[in-house]
Amino acid sequence: MTRLIYLDYAATTPILPEISQAIIRCFSIEGDFGNPASQSHHYGWDAAQHITASRQHVADLIHATPQEIIWTSGATESNNLAIKGTLDHYKNQNKHIITSKIEHKAVLDTCAELESLGFEVTYLQPELGTGVIHPEQVEQAIQPNTVLISLMMVNNEIGTLTDIQTIGQIAHQHKIIFHVDAAQAAGKAFIDVQAMHIDLLSLSAHKIYGPKGIGALYVRREVQKQIKTQIHGGGHEQGLRSGTLATHQIVGMGEACRLAKISLVKEQQRIQKLRNQFLAGLQALTPVQLNGHPTAHVANYLNVSFLGEQADAILSAIKQVAAVSSGSACNSHHATPSHVLNALGVTEELAANTVRFSFGIYTNEENIKDLITELKTFLRSSKKAVRFSFS
């Protein structure tokens, strides 16, 4: 079986070889397999040193301090800890949260749960077509009882960037805790939690060529005492998240963050060229509609709706050649249209003919040319078939 061209990096990324090797060294008796909490022998000391180094790598990527990095099982847990941990202090107090209609389900479902407990949530409407959340929208939505703003930096379906720095300034001025889901932003966009006035920031390793099952939550030192623990048992991670630390996964995430920081600028430039080339190739072949902002985006994502009578057939042709997504991986098992596209004003019919292409480190010019060539061949053959049917 011929392997498909992988263009679904937004769903997950392969682990880089050097990261795999670092992970493997933490498994065996000859390696650093010890429990980092065991401080009576060198097995535990060695593992703890790896944890410390990895925490520093994550902190360096987002311009934080190591003491502000809390290990979690992934961005979903980080989002839950950030939002529920903040709001747990305000039970039965009718407090208010601001988020948007195009957040990841880990945020939307958490906010829906809090609504059922009596909290009020404002879901901001993004700009139609682009998905932009404007800072003035956020400021206008603030109420006297607003305690949390939760917005993603890069949308996981369309790649649109949010003006986090301006929104962070607004939150800071109003003394509101600001949470950012940066699962799709890390390694793709510059992040400085200090300059951006971010209090809580969610990260995931498997979006940046690290292992699945590990993530982190940045918690600004000044707000750590305001976050209520969600997983109890041992008081690990500044008392915010108990559980034996998975040294191998943490080492993998640390290495992924270290490498991401080094390659960010050049990799974005390289992928942007491929994205431009691919979009131009699609537009030359068939009518398409771009979903997302034309310039305020990371290079890695391209979300397009195919127009015209052949749209459904073109989608089928693409999926025979490339591994792509019709939405976010978390929602791909649902038959309903993407909530992101719906919020952007994309019709249900058009949403059904939409593809998210996402590019990564192994994407090259040959992949782009091969996919465009396959589509050209398909369109030529379909035109011949139409002519034949009328002859």
Residues serving a catalytic function are: 330
Asked if 81 contacts 72 with a C-beta cutoff of 8 angstroms, the reply is: yes
Closest CA to 249 of 217, 216, 290: 216
383 Cβ partners below 8 Å, 6+ apart?
A: none
Closest CA to 303 of 323, 320, 325: 325
How far CA 163 is from CA of 173, 239, 311, 332, 389, in Å, comes to 16, 32, 34, 28, 53
Provide DSSP, 115-149.
HHTT-EEEEEPPPTTT----HHHHHHH--TTEEEE
For residue 319, the cross-strand partners are none
Measured over all CA atoms, what is the biggest interatomic distance in the chain, rounded to whole angstroms?
85
Place of tokens 């703003």: 149
Separation CA 353–CA 226 (nearest Å): 45
Asked if 351 contacts 340 with a C-beta cutoff of 8 angstroms, the reply is: no
Separation CA 297–CA 130 (nearest Å): 10
Ramachandran class of 187: left when φ > 0, alpha when ψ lies in -120 to 50, beta otherwise: left
Question: CA angle, 113 as apex, 328 and 144 as ends, to 5°?
Answer: 105
Closest CA to 103 of 370, 340, 352: 340
Q: How far is CA 391 from the centre of its chain?
A: 51
- The amino acid at residue 311 is A
**Which phi and psi angles does 305 have, rounded to 5°?**
-105, 135
Distance between start and end Cα atoms, the chain: 36
H-helix or E-strand containing 275?
A: helix 247-285
